[in-house]
Amino acid sequence: MPKKFYITTPIYYVNGVPHIGHTYTTVAADVLARWHRLIGDDVFFLTGTDEHGAKIEEKAKEMKLKPQKYVDEIADKFKQAWQELNISHNNFFRTTDKNHIKAVQKALQFMYDKGDIYLSKYEGLYCRGCEQYKKNRDLVDGLCPDHKTVPEKMSEECYTFKLSKYQDKLLELIKKDKLQILPLNRKNEIVSFYEKEGLEDISFSRKNVNWGIPIPWDNSHTIYVWADAFLYYLTGLGWDGFTPLIKQDRGINFWPPQVQLMSKDILRVHTTIWPAMLLSLGLPLSKTIFVHGYFSINGQKMSKSIGNVIVPNDLIKKYGVDATRYLIMSAAVFGSDGDISRQQFDEKYNADLANGLGNLVARVSNLLEKNNLELNLKINSNKKLIREYKEKMLGFKFDEVLKSLWQKLRTADEILSDKKPWKLEDKKEIKNILEPVAEDLLNVASLLKPFMPTVAEKIIKQFSVKQIKKSQSLFPRIN
- Chain residues binding ligand MSP by CB under 6 A are 10-13, 21-22, 24-25, 50, 229-230, 232, 262-263, 265-266, 294-295, 302
Q: Which is nearer to ligand MSP, 21 or 450 (CB)?
A: 21
**Which residues are annotated as catalytic?**
19, 22, 127, 130, 144, 147, 301, 304
Radius of gyration of the chain from its Cα atoms, rounded to whole angstroms: 25
Q: Which is nearer to ligand MSP, 308 or 355 (CB)?
A: 308
Q: What are phi and psi of 71, to 5 degrees?
A: -65, -35
Q: What is the DSSP string of 349-383?
A: IIIIIIIIIIHHHHHHHHHHHHTT------TT--H
Q: Report in angstroms how near the CB of residue 49 gets to ligand MSP at its nearest.
A: 8
141 C-beta neighbours (distance < 10 Å), count:
7
8 A C-beta contact, residue 30 and residue 87: yes
Choose among 204, 384, 171, 176: nearest CA to 287. 176
Residue nearest ligand MSP by beta-carbon distance = 21
d(CA 159, CA 122): 9
Q: Report in angstroms how near the CB of residue 267 gets to ligand MSP at its nearest.
A: 8
d(CA 362, CA 473): 7
Exposure class string for 268-282: b at 16+ Cβ within 10 A, else e: bbbbbbbbbbbbbbe
Choose among 12, 60, 24, 77: nearest CA to 310. 24
8 A C-beta contact, residue 48 and residue 92: yes
Strands 214-215 and 218-223: antiparallel
Q: Which is nearer to ligand MSP, 157 or 339 (CB)?
A: 339
Q: Report in angstroms how near the CB of residue 227 gets to ligand MSP at its nearest.
A: 10
d(CA 43, CA 59): 35
Q: Report in angstroms how near the CB of residue 233 gets to ligand MSP at its nearest.
A: 7
Q: Say which DSSP state 171 is in.
A: H
Choose among 263, 73, 289, 38: nearest CA to 184. 289
Q: Report in angstroms how near the CB of residue 458 gets to ligand MSP at its nearest.
A: 29
Q: Which is nearer to ligand MSP, 42 or 72 (CB)?
A: 72
- Beta strand segments in 51-113, E: 91-94
Q: Which is nearer to ligand MSP, 328 or 401 (CB)?
A: 328
Q: Report in angstroms how near the CB of residue 12 gets to ligand MSP at its nearest.
A: 4
Strands 288-292 and 180-182: parallel
Strands 338-340 and 295-297: parallel
Q: Which is nearer to ligand MSP, 336 or 407 (CB)?
A: 336
Q: Report in angstroms how near the CB of residue 476 gets to ligand MSP at its nearest.
A: 29
Q: Which is nearer to ligand MSP, 24 or 204 (CB)?
A: 24
